[in-house]
Amino acid sequence: MRFLTSSFALLLSLVVVNASAIHDVSGLASRHHHISVRVTSLEVRQQPKVCPNRINKHPAALKKKANKSTTNNLAPARNATNTTPSAPKSTPKPSSNNNNNGGSSQSSGVIRVKGGGCGDPRASRTPSQFSGPNGHIDWLTCGFESGGGWQPPHVTMKDIVTVPLWKALQDPNSPFKNCEKFIHIFEKYGNQLGIAPIMLASFAMQESYCQPGTVGQGGEQGLMQITQEKCAGAPEGNCRDPDFNIGTAARYFANTLAEVGGNVLLAAGRYNGWSRGLTKERAFAARYTSCCRCQNNGDYPHQFFNGWLQNINAYNVRPRMGKYFNLDVCDK
């Protein structure tokens, strides 16, 4: 009887231990499941909600979509006051465009605008963190940090230095490979209107990553994300038709350029939400609101004129182009 009692006690203890072990495994599996879900959610985290404002609505998406092979390397500058930071030999050298397509044909490879309250452009032949062929970031954003706000130097389409679009595409790492099948359209309207074709293609990259079927949150259409009131006369009502879309946007930009007396810095700024008198405080005012990306990109003039127009993806280049990076807070 005593033997049976001992055996029964032993059997009972084994059942209790086994049940406890099963409980622990269940808890461990549950914790692992929680970690797995957490990691997955981080991997597929969506981009912050983009505001209806068309300004700066694609930088984060471009960083995600751009092929890693298009990442260029720039030589870092020590601080924003450096005028001509050095760059490695592997950095693409800007090529001058010809006057038929807009852009500079200067053999010097740098902008030659002088005078005005903004001083010397402090341009460098090689694009860098703070400077490039079209001037230093502080010159391009002249007045941005002052009470009077942005007072862009008077620069015409003939003054700026650009890489010809056809030449840019000869580079296997060109960020404009995505626009390749529309190059003839950019060239067509660039030639007609005196706008550097690479400038039109740069707008398309920023607006839609050169995806003709793109429809914006506010109903903006196609490659250039033109607003719907500009769609009158579209072939068969198709506002996303590449020729119509690019042509409409190119004419809009040409009209804007004429309205501002040919100042291409001011015209390009207007196309992306900048205006004469824009201050840093006003540009960054939305950074801690629910519409963080309604901010103006403080580095836009430098990234556009010394990045994109030099056949460089200004969003992927390392070290990064600029000094403000005020949109970074929107990704946190």
Give the global pTM. Answer: 0.73
Taking residues 179-184, what's their average pLDDT? 98
* Closest listed residue to residue 207, CA positions, set 320, 50, 48, 45: 50
pLDDT by residue (tens digit) across 41-76? 222 223 333 444 444 444 554 555 544 444 567 754
* Closest listed residue to residue 169, CA positions, set 199, 198, 207: 198
pLDDT of residue 130: 99
Confidence band of 332 (pLDDT split at 50, 70, 90): confident
Question: CATH top-level class for 103-310?
Answer: mainly alpha
Report the alpha-carbon distance of residue 152 to residue 262 in Å, rounded.
12
pLDDT by residue (tens digit) across 281-331? 999 999 999 999 999 999 999 999 999 999 999 999 999 999 999 999 999
Q: Is the pLDDT of residue 189 over 70?
A: yes
| Per-chain mean pLDDT for the chain | 79
Question: What are the residues whose beta carbons fall under 8 Å from the beta carbon of 74, sequence distance 6 or more?
Answer: 87, 91, 127, 128, 129, 312, 317, 318, 319, 321
75-79, 181-185, 267-271, 277-281: lowest mean pLDDT where?
A: 75-79
pLDDT of residue 104: 54
pLDDT of residue 102: 62
pLDDT by residue (tens digit) across 139-166? 999 999 999 999 999 999 999 999 999 9
Confidence band of 190 (pLDDT split at 50, 70, 90): very high
**Domain residues of the chain, as ranges?**
103-310
Mean pLDDT is highest, among 18-22, 79-83, 94-98, for: 18-22
Question: What are the residues whose beta carbons fall under 8 Å from the beta carbon of 243, sequence distance 6 or more?
Answer: 185
Sign of CA dihedral 171, 173, 175, 181: positive
Calculate what percentage of the chain has a pLDDT beyond 70: 67
Nearest 5°: phi and psi at 132?
Answer: 175, -175
**Token pair belonging to 227:** 């607003």
Nearest 5°: phi and psi at 324?
Answer: -95, -50
**Token pair belonging to 198:** 């690479």
Exposed e or buried b for every residue in 8-46, given b needs 16+ CB within 10 A?
A: eeeeeeeeeeeeeeeeeeeeeeeeeeeeeeeeeeeeeee
Q: Is the pLDDT of residue 247 over 60?
A: yes
pLDDT of residue 85: 32
* Residue that the structure tokens 């490979």 belong to: 177
Question: What are the residues whose beta carbons fall under 8 Å from the beta carbon of 35, sequence distance 6 or more?
Answer: none
